Structure 1
Amino acid sequence: MNQRPLPGWRLAAFAAPCVPIAALGLPISLYLPQFYASSQGLGLGLVGTLFMVARLWDVVCDPLIGFLSDRYPSRWGHRRPWIIGATPLICIATWFVFMPPATTSATYLLGWLLVLYLGWTMLTIPHLSWAAELSEDYHQRSRIHGFREAGEIIGIPLVLVLPAVIEQIGGENMEAHRIAAMGGFLLILLPVAVLISVRSVGEPPRRTVPPLALASTIRALITNQPLGRVILADTISGAAGASVGALFLYMVSEKWHLGGSASLLMLIYFLAGLGFVPLIVKTSYRFGKHQTLIGCCAFYVAFPPLALLVPDGNFAAAAGLMVLLGINVGGAGLLLRSIMADVADLDEHRTGEKRTGLLYSFMALTRKAGGALAVGGTFWALQAIGFDSQGHNSRAVLDQLAWLFVAVPTCCNLVVMALMWRFPLDSRRQSQLREALSSSPVADLPGK
């Protein structure tokens, strides 16, 4: 494989699908649950359950897509055909989820969510695997995933511009209009971004080896201790982000009384994060990926409690907090995905088989499961404390909402710090793995 770093414009083109995928992910976690619970009248408990069930559908889809994209190539490669095939599926489901009829049923929502998540899986797992395979270099992998993360962060402010404008205009059915606007944005952007990506960057060549027997496959996965730590850390990190997203609108509108500025505050949050992605990547060059990840988590432990101090109706204080929280928005995601590429080297060294797609499918699956449990759990918690989504809440209930908003991400990031402490795959160890794979795919290394 050519180890010269890809130029920035090619990596930007490669990362283009991350923009619309982020534009899809934010409404799913932030706007759609509240929309279907309130405007569509399905209720908090039912909507939380439906979104959790839809995410658990990925228990089947994620490993299957990862396995198939690893095992069965086409004349266009292992990854790109899946990405192209996913595009119309996502667009059709987006139309029905983001532009529903005036009255919808639980069956309608669940059915189209299942289709939407299948298309999402078909695009994201092959794209993540493709990113991991573009370079064998420890630090270049962080650079590649930095471009992916930047694309995801860019997509969120772009899609937030639409609801922010609609909020300022006001009028009837504002919530339905902003949901439809985000869906329309995705329908236009996704096909264009996918076309740019698949035409601008090729897939690297890969050797063909006989597949492992099922028992050997399972044994290799179970005994890969770094794999377990990364997957668990990513699950918990995803749960932290999902809980913040699920509670954000309620926190802004009910606790801070800034509901008309919710999208603007979220826009500030992600714009603050965008500029710090290059700094996080360069910091990982200096200190290593897992050490930088620990620092990112420590940052996110320190600042969420400031949410308890934002005065009612004080936009400046809320915006300042969003800047502080947004600085670290992309750190954990890009570093964990880059680390997983190194874990895939370890797996290939032990088995002789390249299973990047399968490993990233586990990562995607557990992150989604963590996010689904977080959304379902936070909605159940809101119901348990007597929170009223229509806005009739006592001061005591709002205080409990604020503590829930702070406690979940703080505790989750403390756990991630513990999991990644003294992680065994650093730049030296990854270089040893690549040297061994270049000479003999199944050669032993000291301390394997």
Structure 2
Amino acid sequence: MSSSDDNVRIFNVWQLTCFGLLTTPLAMAGLAMAMYLPTFYAVDMGLGLGLVGAIFVLGRLLDIVTDPLIGHWSDETRSRFGPRKPWMIAGVLGFSVAVYLFLAPPDTIGPAYLILASGLYFLFYTILDVPYSSIGLEISPDVHERSLLAGSKAIFQVVGAIVAAALPFIMGYSIGEALHVIAYAIIALCFIGLMLFLLFVPTPARTIDSPRLTPVEALKSVLSDRRYRYLLVSFLIVQTANSLVAGLMVLYVVHIVGAAELVGLFLAVLLLSSAAFLPLWIYLSKRYSKKTSWMAAILLCAFALALIPLVGRGDVTGAIILSIIIGSTFGSDAIMPTSMLADIVYEKEQEGNNRLGGLYLAVKNSVSKLSFIVPMGLAFPALGYIGFETTGADGPNAMLTFLFFYSALPILLRLIAFYVLKTGPDFIVVQKRDSAIG
């Protein structure tokens, strides 16, 4: 919580909208990449699941390296337009080309095309997203307004994901046709979002006179902050738990609930509930603290996951209720760590330190991407070994194995994260009037 009640907010609703809108095309691209493109390239384009899977995993591993580098280079950029905007402009231009190549390929391609298109996609996604999201950490001097900024991005992220998920079904398109339309929509929204951001989002500048840091020096400075280390560990644990639930949700709906035709509905429920409950988590963060709000969400999700074994085949209503509760906590998992990170970054920059917001965020992004790789390397091979994809929950020990990965392990991880946060340092910062952004 803030130690000052001074009103130092600088954003109105329109400015929050202009700030968050650029998240929509990024979310559309992210969902298309996760939901449509693996199958499209493997089956429709005939490249095979093994090859496509390997290329996509390598792309994610590349992100873990490029994210911190681009974050650091963005921090160290010194121009009359500030450090972030030149990267955002270059990112929009490059990302637009990459999206078209990736989502709208020619009829006949080979592995080299996918490597090139996906590599450009992952690279320019980072070049656009890291500097853009870094601004959200630095831009407001108000401790609670930082939660609103994170909330704005979260809402537009949900909008983008829903649009990309629903478009093929609403328009009656094939996946290939839908990907073309999604590509054009992403490109248009990127330029619209960038224009509105540049015109209406206030970004006061902070002059940096201190010597430049090498990537290693900057990384050491970032990781030397005890609060950041606790935040990073907690975030990694929670995201790992969430990746298990999100990654196995389709199998849960199809084989446990027995409602394959409702997979889209369950996805929509998760996304919409994560957005609908954002005001609750922001209220709790203002009433108590951001850490308390996040810990409450962690426990609530663990409680809902503990009820999963009680939902049997055909109990669609019970499964949807639990999905609403679980989805509602995803919003807190998204905005509270980001807002807490913004407090740390703002406080550090007020002390006159080097600009490090991009690197702080990029390391957090790398952790998030790593968390989605590791669980899938555990859960999917184990379920594949027992033949879950063919026998479903009727195979020997199949139900127990699935519930371990979908319920028990995420509960355990969330309780560990709760303990780490509870025993870790406080995240209370001093609010100051002078705003700072690089």
TM-score exceeds 0.5: yes
For residues 118-164 of structure 1, the C-alpha deviation after alignment (integer angstroms, 9 at most, x for no partner) is: 11111221122111121122222112212222221222222222144
Choose from 118, 124, 133 the match for 1:119.
124
For residues 6-53 of structure 1, the C-alpha deviation after alignment (integer angstroms, 9 at most, x for no partner) is: 111111111111122122222333444455556556665554443322
Choose from 77, 96, 100 the match for 1:95.
100
Q: Distance in 2 between matches of 1:26 and 1:355?
A: 29
Other-structure match for 1:55: 60
Deviation at 1:56, TM superposition (A): 1.2
Do the aligned partners of residues 233 and 163 (structure 1) sit closer, same or farther apart at CA in structure 2, a change above 3 Å counting? farther
Among all aligned residue pairs of Structure 1 and Structure 2, give the percentage whose two residues are the same amino acid: 26
Deviation at 1:408, TM superposition (A): 4.3
| Bigger shift: residues 399-408 or 258-267 | 399-408
Deviation at 1:294, TM superposition (A): 0.7
Do the aligned partners of residues 382 and 120 (structure 1) sit closer, same or farther apart at CA in structure 2, a change above 3 Å counting? farther
For residues 41-100 of structure 1, the C-alpha deviation after alignment (integer angstroms, 9 at most, x for no partner) is: 666555444332211112332122112221113332221222222123223322333344
Deviation at 1:426, TM superposition (A): 3.2
- Determine whether 1:203 maps to 2:208: no
- Determine whether 1:190 maps to 2:197: no
Query: 1:52·1:376 contact (CA, 8 Å) conserved in 2?
Result: no
Equivalent position amino acid for 2:193 in 1? A
Equivalent position amino acid for 2:70 in 1? I
Choose from 77, 81, 93 the match for 1:72.
77
Q: Distance in 1 between matches of 2:320 and 2:43?
A: 26
Do the aligned partners of residues 263 and 337 (structure 1) sit closer, same or farther apart at CA in structure 2, a change above 3 Å counting? same
Choose from 154, 157, 162 the match for 2:159.
154
Mapping of residues 225-244 of structure 1, within 5 Å: 225-244=226-245
Q: Distance in 1 between matches of 2:85 and 2:409?
A: 37
- TM, length-normalised to structure 2: 0.86
Deviation at 1:320, TM superposition (A): 2.6
Do the aligned partners of residues 87 and 313 (structure 1) sit closer, same or farther apart at CA in structure 2, a change above 3 Å counting? farther
- SS of residue in 1 equivalent to 2:270: helix
Structure 1: where are the runs of 5+ without partners? Answer: 439-448
Deviation at 1:386, TM superposition (A): 2.9
- SS of residue in 2 equivalent to 1:211: coil
Other-structure match for 1:441: none
- Determine whether 1:323 maps to 2:324: yes
Structure 2: where are the runs of 5+ without partners? Answer: 1-6
The alignment's C-alpha RMSD in Å is 3.1
For residues 266-285 of structure 1, the C-alpha deviation after alignment (integer angstroms, 9 at most, x for no partner) is: 11221222221112111100
Other-structure match for 1:296: 297
- SS of residue in 2 equivalent to 1:208: coil
Deviation at 1:286, TM superposition (A): 0.9
Q: Distance in 2 between matches of 1:89 and 1:53?
A: 20
For residues 332-381 of structure 1, the C-alpha deviation after alignment (integer angstroms, 9 at most, x for no partner) is: 11110111112224544677212111111111122112223334444433
Other-structure match for 2:342: 341
Q: Distance in 2 between matches of 1:116 and 1:71?
A: 24
- Determine whether 1:354 maps to 2:355: yes
Query: 2:38·2:52 contact (CA, 8 Å) conserved in 1?
Result: yes
| Bigger shift: residues 266-275 or 248-257 | 248-257
- TM, length-normalised to structure 1: 0.84
Count of equivalent residues:
426
Q: Distance in 2 between matches of 1:139 and 1:76?
A: 27
Choose from 137, 147, 150 the match for 2:142.
137
For residues 193-219 of structure 1, the C-alpha deviation after alignment (integer angstroms, 9 at most, x for no partner) is: 222222211321202222255475454
Other-structure match for 1:14: 19
Deviation at 1:302, TM superposition (A): 1.3
Deviation at 1:403, TM superposition (A): 3.6
Do the aligned partners of residues 38 and 244 (structure 1) sit closer, same or farther apart at CA in structure 2, a change above 3 Å counting? farther
Q: Distance in 2 between matches of 1:235 and 1:256?
A: 29
Do the aligned partners of residues 36 and 245 (structure 1) sit closer, same or farther apart at CA in structure 2, a change above 3 Å counting? farther
Q: Distance in 2 between matches of 1:69 and 1:59?
A: 16
- SS of residue in 1 equivalent to 2:329: coil
| Bigger shift: residues 321-330 or 397-406 | 397-406
Deviation at 1:331, TM superposition (A): 0.6
Q: Distance in 2 between matches of 1:396 and 1:87?
A: 49
Deviation at 1:234, TM superposition (A): 2.2
Other-structure match for 2:430: 431
Other-structure match for 2:32: 27
Other-structure match for 1:411: 412
